């Protein structure tokens, strides 16, 4: 259940980034804190970004 909550929070921060409310460095920091490692955060972000951009 916590994993789903983490993904919802991460999606919120990506939306904040898309809407220019936070910068990329802040987004990276938030995702690192949510997922606990840069490798997992970057992997999740790559997958989610493809969904957001429709690639």
pLDDT tens per residue, range 8-32: 999 999 999 999 999 999 999 999 9
pLDDT at 30: 96
The whole domain housing 10 covers: 2-53
Supply angle C-alpha 51, 53, 55, rounded to 5. Answer: 70
Model confidence pLDDT, tens digit, residues 30-53: 999 999 999 999 999 999 999 988
pLDDT at 1: 61
Cα distances from 50 to residues 1, 19, 20, in angstroms, run 24, 17, 19
Distance CA 14, CA 27 (A): 7
Cα distances from 11 to residues 25, 41, 53, in angstroms, run 16, 12, 13
**What total number of domains does the chain contain?**
1
- Higher confidence at residue 2 or residue 50? 50
State the pTM of this model.
0.81
Distance CA 32, CA 19 (A): 20
């Amino acid at each position: 259940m916590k994993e789903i909550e983490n993904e919802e929070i991460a999606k919120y921060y990506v939306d904040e980034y898309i809407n220019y409310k936070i910068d990329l460095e802040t987004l990276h920091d938030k995702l690192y804190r949510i997922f606990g490692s840069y490798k997992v955060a970057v992997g999740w972000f790559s997958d989610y970004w493809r969904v957001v951009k429709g690639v």
